Structure formats: structure tokens, C-alpha cells
Amino acid sequence: MTAPLTAEVILPVSFCETLTYLVPEELREQIAPGCRVLVPLRGKQAQMGIVMALYEALEVNYKLKDIKALVDHVPVMSQTQLSFWKWIASYYACKIGEVMMAALPTGLKSEDAYKAKTESVLYLSPLYRSEPSCQELLHGLQTKAKKQYLLLERFLSMKSEEFAVRKADLLLLDDSSPAALKALIDKGILEVQQQEVSRLKVLQADENRLLQLSPAQEQAYREIHQHWQTKDICLLHGVTSSGKTEIYSRLIKEVLAENKQVLYLLPEIALTTQMTQRLKKIFGPQMLIYHSKCSMNERVEMWHRILQEDGPLLVVGVRSSVFLPFTRLGLVVVDEEHEISYKQSEPAPRYHARNAALMLAKMHHAKAILGSATPSLESYTKAREGRYGLVNLTQRYRDIQLPEIILADINEAKRKKELVAMFTPTLVENMQACLQAGEQIILFHNRRGYASVMSCKECDWTPHCERCDVPLTYHKESHSLRCHYCGRQYPIPSRCPSCGKAMMASFGFGTEQVEEALHQLFPQARVARMDTDVLHERNAIGQLIEDFEQQKTDILIGTQMLTKGLDFDHVALVGVLNADTMLNQNDFRAHERAFQLMVQVSGRAGRKGRRGRVVLQTRDPEQPLIQRVLHYDYLSYYVDAMKERHTFCYPPYCYLIDVWFKHTSQAKVQQAAQYFANVLQPLFPDMVFGPFEPAVAKVRDVHIQKLSLKIAPSQSLLKIKDYLCGLQAHLQKDPLTKQVQIYFDVDPL
Ligand code: ADP
Ligand code: ZN
Ligand code: ZN
């Protein structure tokens, strides 16, 4: 008798790790790691899970439950992918079931969720497939049934080798006659069949060729190859508009020619239609685009195509595309590698798509390239240490100079009473000159809404959200106050609830207010606004970008979103309305982000043709960081920033893990957080911070506390995470604290 076979099964739950089940005799031959199975779980009879591993058991454990059914006879994921899930769960200190929930498309999570798309296909009856019988048929119809004759002629001109034509294609033309078709079917000349078809659009390549690289690009391209001989990862530090995309394209082409797969990560698809259009032109049918707007069924079809197709394939996608079932990954490209939107903060797994993609590349023995004009301190440090290859591209394409940056002192303008709304005279003059010359302007402001907050002029009372611990933002368009955390809207109080006076006023300013001020200043100018309020409207962003591209808009006002790799040809001027708001934030990464934002947004000016200009409004022109931006001095900025990180011991000089505690009872949150702190303090003296309330300590009535742990590079991250998970498990057994949600954020951003 053979030994019993057991299966370790991943389940889409967060309350346990994998569970072990018995494999019934009749499934023994077909079951394999990566197959989906149905198993009993907590009273549920058929929970979908995935087989992670199979083991021969030494003896029968009668407590084990049987697998109820095997869903797949061919695994829906590969061994490498299973290893990748394990790594994610281990590195980001979460359950592998949580990885499964995030990684597996909904359409694969339950047995009947996915519906194949079918359509009618018409076949010529076998009776008429020979040339003489066909001619005879046509001859007969020509005199007696003209419409049927014409339709059959069209059918014959369109038919495939299998004598088939899609019904929709046949009836596409205006003069087509459904009645004639019905007659042909009734006579048994054509036969209809329902067939499964793919939902995935076949993208057409417009020009199947790459652009000629400039000498500087050529040089960078060669250096990347040189580094790849000894290192798998290369950082391309190329100024804005240096043509990084062209270099990636060249590298992608080579890898596809080896019949391999390429993953091209982008921080955001809605804002990068320009980029995907360019890639589409080159790679067309070999390219898939994976983003949040793909339907459930499309995701399943992409999954299968990536898993099963053995041809070359380029997947362009947002962060979650690291979970796709690559089988022959040859190259990973991470564009704008510094972007914080690569990090998922909610829910688990709280992974960083750049770092995860690098691990994925390693597992596939693939090469990787990270690109940015403003690399993250983490990546640049690894490059300086020689762990990554470093390639610099310091010239813009066609040698156009980087935009000239002019500082405009807000305080000085105020003192001289020259400030017009939020604009300094320098900015106003430059805008005027631009508009007169018919050129375009981008204005950057990192606050949406009308004014950041509203308060009582008399007593300073500020309206807060009832469910979240945040001040409300005034939105003029809807004439309401809005919570940017939970989205709830409130009417504007006519009197101050605190002192009773009718003295509500707004201060600070948001993008809406900028728009209004522009209308007053330049009534003729066509102004558009791009911020997350607009993002919620479907297709609004694409339209905004297109209008600006076609010069239907003169001035585009926007938030962070403007910095993400947009490429416009006629922008002569970029205005940064308030550089200081970015600097004065209570976060050790505030300066890093401010530098990245300012350099990136400046890069939107003067990309083709003439040199562009940037006006940077600030209250503190002498600020060292502003000075670094002024000269595009990445290296000095890097040295400054690293000094500071070293002095205060922050990444990349240490690792950070945040522990979060959430519950509606403040007392329970406190108790759980304090328990962690008490245990950890003596073990990691001076490295435990908190527990404290984060900047927003209550959201939707849930109280929040946070504990931060710094970990020296010499310590074992893995052991510490195990220890933390142990504490978490302990508290989740204690009746007092077991309802408190506790989770870890490894490498928080
Ligand atoms: P980056 O990503 O470095 O900011 P892009 O790849 O967007 O730069 O290139 C900037 C602009 O220059 C784009 O409009 C691109 O089409 C053009 N460009 C770059 N390299 C070439 C080239 N070798 N030939 C023709 N046009 C190029
Ligand atoms: Zn709220
Ligand atoms: Zn008041």
C-alpha cells in the first residue's frame, strides 16, 4: 500500500497560514502544486484554495480532512510564482493567504466567476466546399436570390482556411442583409456555431521599427549591457526628456527576440497613456496592458495568456502586475522607480512593487533596469555601492537645455504689496509673455480643493470630520466642506459653533482657487484643472491630457499628478506656486519628495524645440534644498540628504517597520500598542518609537496607534519579523485584545 499523500493548501484568509489536507486516492495522479482545489474550512464545505506543496505522509493522520475536489488539471500558477508569494509573505510580514487574495484575479478565486465570451461563427457547409459545387450554388442564387448571392460572395472573399467568418464581421457593412443571412442558414448553406473568443484586444503596431538612438542614448545603452555582464540590476539616472523610453524599447526588443517575457512597470496608467501609446506603436500585438480598469474577465484571460502562450510578450502594467504568472521572464523595467505609488499601503500585502519586481527578476534569472531622473535614495545608494550598475544620461534628447529655473520670493512680493492673489510679479510677467506668444503653461500646486482649511476668524475654531480626526477642506464648486479621508461632505456652518459669530473664513489656497484667480487675471486664457477630484470622473484625465496636447488649453493647473512622466511639446513655462508647503512636512522623507516633485515638474517645460522656463515661488529662496533644485544638482542633494539620514538614523541606514493598531475602542488600541512597546523596548533600546497617535488618529470612528521600529542593517530582519508575528499571535489569543487589528508595514513610505 502506498503512503498517504497530503497537500499544503493556501487559503484566501488572514487568520491562519497554510492548512494541510489529505489527497483522496482518485486525485493522486492529477494533483500538482499550483492547482486549485476545493476544501472544507470552518464549516464552509467548498473553499477555493491553491496547492502549495505535496508531501508523502509517513502515517495516516485521521484528523486531516479530505480535499473535496480538484478544480484544475493543469496548474494555474507556476512554481516560481509560489516561491514569489512565499517571499512576499515573509518579507512583508503577512499571511500567504493575504498574498493570494491580492495576487489571484477575482475570476480565478471562485469556480464560476469567470465567463468565457462567445460569439457566432459562420461555416460554409461541407457540401459546397469544393470549387465546382460552390460555383454551381452561386450560379443558382445569382438569378433567383440576388441578396443572398451578394452576401455569399462576401462570405467567400472573407473566409478563413477553415471556411469560417465571424458573423459580426460579415454583417459589418451597412448594406448587409440579416434576412439574406437567415435564408442562407435555413437552406443549410451556412452553419452557425458558438465559439469562445478572447476579450483581449490585439494591439496594432503602427510602425514596426525603433527610433534611431542619439549618440548619448547609444552610449547609455551600451553601458547598460556592460553592467549586465556582471550585475543583474542597472539604474538609469537620466534627466527628464533624455529619452529613457527609447533605450528601454531597444532593450525590450532584444529580449522579446529571444522569445522571452518582459514586465514594464509604470506607476500609473491613466496618466501614462502617452507612454503606452508609444510602446504600442512599437510592440503592438506582443503587448498587454494590465491596469485597474481591466474587467474581471479580461484579467483571467490575460492570466491564461501569460501562463500558456509560448511566444514573446511584453506586459505593461501597474504595481499589481508583479503577480502575473510569468513563465519566461527575461527583463523587468521599472520606470520612474522613485514613485511612491509603487508601494501598496492598504491592504496587505504592503509591498513595494519595485522591490518585489526585482525579487521576481532574480527568481527568473532575468535582468532588470530601474529608471528615473530623480532616483530614490535607496536605489541610488545601492548603485553607488556597486550593487547595481549605474548609468548616467545627462543630456536631453536633441541637446535641449534643462529649463532655466527662476526663484520668486513670495515674502518680498508681499512686502512690496505686489502679490496678485497667489502670484508673484515674476510669475505674472512670465505667464503674460507666454500667453501672448501662444505658448502653454503648467502650474503646479500640491493642494486640491479651494482652500486647505476654513476657520473662525474670531476664535480660530476649525471644522473637523466627525468620524475622522482631520480638518475639513473647503470645496467651492460644491460649496461644501469635505473630508479627504472618508469623503463625507458637510454644509458650511453659517455661524461658528464655538463662539457663535458669523466669521468663517478660509486660508491657504487650493487648485480650485488658483483656477479662479487665473480667470480674473487672464480672462481670455483657457484654463483646465487636473487633480484627484477630476480623476474620479471616468476618462476625464485622458480628455484633459488630449486637450492640452492639442493646445485646446492654455494653462493646466494640477497637483502631484502632473509630475508623472507627461510629455507635452509646447509647454514654455512651469510655475510652482508654493515650494515651501512641500518642505514643511513632518516626515523624514519630505525633502526627498520635494526635490523629486520640483525636478520632475520642472522637466515638463520646454521638452521639444526651445529651452523652457520654471518660476519657483518660495518664502525662503536661500533654503539649501531649493538651491539644489535651482541647479538640478542631484548629487549634492543626495549627499545632503544622506548626511541627514545618517545623523538621525533613517533608511537607507536602517530598516523601518511600522506596527499599526486599530479598533473602535481607544482603550483596547492603547493596551495592545503598549504591550508591544513594553516587550520591544528592552530588546531594542533606543530603536522603538511610540506608541503614538499618527497625524490622523481616527478614521471612520476607528482609533489608530502606531509604533515604529528601527532595525540596524546588522540585525536579522527575518528573525525580528518572526518575533513580531509571535507577539501579534499572542495578542490575538488574549480575549481583551483579540479584536484589535494589528499589522506590520515593512519599509513604510
Ligand atoms: P524621458 O522618459 O527620459 O523623460 P522620453 O523618453 O519621454 O524621455 O523622451 C522625450 C521626448 O524625446 C519624447 O517625445 C521622445 O519621443 C523624444 N525622443 C527621445 N529619444 C528620441 C530618439 N532617439 N529619436 C527621436 N525622438 C526621441
Ligand atoms: Zn472623515
Ligand atoms: Zn468662533
- Is the beta carbon of 240 within 6 A of some atom in ligand 1? yes
Residue 271: band (very low, low, confident or very high) from pLDDT cuts 50, 70, 90: low
SS3 530: strand
Mutate to test the pocket of ligand 1, among 210, 245, 549, 562 (most ligand atoms within 8 A of CB): 245
> What's the pLDDT score for residue 507?
65
Decide if 613 contacts 403 (C-beta within 8 A): yes
- Is the model more confident about 356 or about 486? 356
**Cα 214 from Cα 219, distance rounded (Å):** 9
> What's the pLDDT score for residue 88?
97
Which residue type sits at 293?
K
> What's the pLDDT score for residue 462?
81
Q: Return phi, psi of residue 552, to 5°.
A: -85, -10
**Smallest CA separation from ligand 1 atom 24, residue:** 211
Lowest mean pLDDT, pick from 430-444, 452-466, 568-582, 662-676 = 452-466
Nearest ligand, measured from the Cα of 609 = 1
Decide if 71 contacts 110 (C-beta within 8 A): no
Give yes or no on whether 215-399 and 404-448+510-644 have one common fold: yes
In ligand 1, the atom with minimum distance to the C-alpha of 603 is 4
pLDDT at 47 over 60: yes
What average pLDDT score do residues 116-123 get? 87
- Kindly report, residue by residue over 241-270, the tens digit of the pLDDT: 899 999 999 999 999 999 999 999 998 776
pLDDT at 451 over 60: no
In ligand 1, the atom with minimum distance to the C-alpha of 565 is 4
**Cα 445 from Cα 323, distance rounded (Å):** 34
Measure 233 CA to ligand 3 centroid, in angstroms: 58
> What's the pLDDT score for residue 448?
63
Nearest ligand, measured from the Cα of 489 = 2
- Is the beta carbon of 578 within 6 A of some atom in ligand 1? no
Per-residue b/e over 339-354, b at no fewer than 16 CB within 10 Å? bebbbbeeebbbbbbb
> What's the pLDDT score for residue 472?
83
- Kindly report, residue by residue over 592-608, the tens digit of the pLDDT: 999 999 999 888 888 66
Query: pLDDT exceeding 90 applies to what percent of the chain?
Result: 60
> What's the pLDDT score for residue 535?
66
- Is the model more confident about 380 or about 609? 380
Measure 420 CA to ligand 3 centroid, in angstroms: 29
pLDDT at 450 over 60: no
- Is the beta carbon of 330 within 6 A of some atom in ligand 1? no
- Is the beta carbon of 242 within 6 A of some atom in ligand 1? yes
In ligand 1, the atom with minimum distance to the C-alpha of 245 is 6
> What's the pLDDT score for residue 207?
62
SS3 305: helix
- Is the beta carbon of 606 within 6 A of some atom in ligand 1? no
Residue 686: band (very low, low, confident or very high) from pLDDT cuts 50, 70, 90: confident
CATH 3.40.50.300, applies to 404-448+510-644 = yes
Q: Return phi, psi of residue 270, to 5°.
A: -55, -35
Lowest mean pLDDT, pick from 478-482, 521-525, 562-566, 722-726 = 562-566
What average pLDDT score do residues 617-640 get? 94
> What's the pLDDT score for residue 565?
59
* Of 402, 106, 354, nearest in space to 241 by CA: 402
Give every CB contact of residue 27 below 8 A, 6+ residues apart in sequence. 67, 70
Measure 239 CA to ligand 1 centroid, in angstroms: 11
User: Is the peptide bond between 285 and the residue preceding it cis, with omega within 30 degrees of 0?
Assistant: no
- Kindly report, residue by residue over 302-344, the tens digit of the pLDDT: 999 999 999 999 999 999 999 999 999 999 999 999 999 999 9
Measure 453 CA to ligand 3 centroid, in angstroms: 14
Strand order in the sheet with 480-482: 473-475, 480-482, 489-490
Mutate to test the pocket of ligand 1, among 271, 567, 596 (most ligand atoms within 8 A of CB): 567
> What's the pLDDT score for residue 530?
85
pLDDT at 208 over 60: no
> What's the pLDDT score for residue 200?
78
Instruction: Write the CATH number of the domain with boundaries 5-108.
Output: 3.40.1440.60
- Kindly report, residue by residue over 351-381, the tens digit of the pLDDT: 999 999 999 999 999 999 999 999 999 999 9
Burial group, residue 727, by CB count within 10 angstroms (0-12, 13-18, 19+)? middle
- Is the beta carbon of 243 within 6 A of some atom in ligand 1? yes
For the chain, helix, strand, coil in percent to 5 are 35, 25, 40
In ligand 1, the atom with minimum distance to the C-alpha of 393 is 3
Measure 488 CA to ligand 2 centroid, in angstroms: 6
Question: Which residues have their alpha-adjacent CB atom under 5 A from ion ligand 2?
Answer: 465, 467-468, 483, 485-486
- Is the beta carbon of 376 within 6 A of some atom in ligand 1? no
> What's the pLDDT score for residue 508?
67
Q: Return phi, psi of residue 341, to 5°.
A: -70, -5
DSSP 586: S
What average pLDDT score do residues 32-55 get? 93
Measure 559 CA to ligand 2 centroid, in angstroms: 21
- Per-residue 3-state assignment (H helix, E strand, C coil) for 198-256: CCCCCCCCCCCCCCCCCHHHHHHHHHHHHHHCCCCEEEEEECCCCCHHHHHHHHHHHHH
pTM over 0.85: yes
Burial group, residue 291, by CB count within 10 angstroms (0-12, 13-18, 19+)? middle
- Is the model more confident about 3 or about 373? 373
**Cα 547 from Cα 526, distance rounded (Å):** 11
Measure 230 CA to ligand 1 centroid, in angstroms: 28
In ligand 1, the atom with minimum distance to the C-alpha of 238 is 3
**Smallest CA separation from ligand 1 atom 26, residue:** 211
**Cα 317 from Cα 291, distance rounded (Å):** 6
Decide if 170 contacts 154 (C-beta within 8 A): yes
Give every CB contact of residue 610 below 8 A, 6+ residues apart in sequence. 400, 572
> What's the pLDDT score for residue 117?
83
Lowest mean pLDDT, pick from 97-111, 242-256, 477-491, 733-747 = 477-491
Residue 668: band (very low, low, confident or very high) from pLDDT cuts 50, 70, 90: very high
Give every CB contact of residue 423 below 8 A, 6+ residues apart in sequence. 431, 517, 521, 575, 577, 617
Measure 566 CA to ligand 1 centroid, in angstroms: 12
* Mean per-residue pLDDT over the chain, rounded: 89
Measure 485 CA to ligand 2 centroid, in angstroms: 5
- Is the beta carbon of 600 within 6 A of some atom in ligand 1? no
* Of 691, 446, 689, nearest in space to 576 by CA: 446
**Smallest CA separation from ligand 1 atom 14, residue:** 567
**Smallest CA separation from ligand 1 atom 16, residue:** 243
- Is the beta carbon of 241 within 6 A of some atom in ligand 1? yes
Angle of helix 215-228 versus helix 244-257 axis, rounded to 10:
50
Mutate to test the pocket of ligand 1, among 397, 570, 608 (most ligand atoms within 8 A of CB): 397
> What's the pLDDT score for residue 291?
85
pLDDT at 490 over 70: yes
Measure 494 CA to ligand 3 centroid, in angstroms: 11
pLDDT at 1 over 70: no
Measure 703 CA to ligand 2 centroid, in angstroms: 12
Instruction: Name the residue ranges covered by the structural domains of the chain.
Output: 5-108, 126-188, 215-399, 404-448+510-644, 451-508, 655-746
- Is the beta carbon of 395 within 6 A of some atom in ligand 1? no
**Cα 21 from Cα 19, distance rounded (Å):** 7
In ligand 1, the atom with minimum distance to the C-alpha of 217 is 23
> What's the pLDDT score for residue 266?
93
- Per-residue 3-state assignment (H helix, E strand, C coil) for 351-394: CEHHHHHHHHHHHCCCEEEEEECCCCHHHHHHHHCCCCEEEEEC
**Smallest CA separation from ligand 1 atom 25, residue:** 211
**Cα 490 from Cα 69, distance rounded (Å):** 52
User: Is the peptide bond between 349 and the residue preceding it cis, with omega within 30 degrees of 0?
Assistant: yes
In ligand 1, the atom with minimum distance to the C-alpha of 275 is 7
Measure 484 CA to ligand 2 centroid, in angstroms: 7
Architecture of domain 215-399: 3-Layer(aba) Sandwich (3.40)
Q: Return phi, psi of residue 639, to 5°.
A: -65, -45
Superfamily of domain 655-746: Ribosomal protein S10 (3.30.70.600)
Measure 355 CA to ligand 1 centroid, in angstroms: 26
Residue count (the chain)? 749
Measure 490 CA to ligand 3 centroid, in angstroms: 18
Measure 46 CA to ligand 1 centroid, in angstroms: 53
- Is the beta carbon of 602 within 6 A of some atom in ligand 1? no
> What's the pLDDT score for residue 397?
85
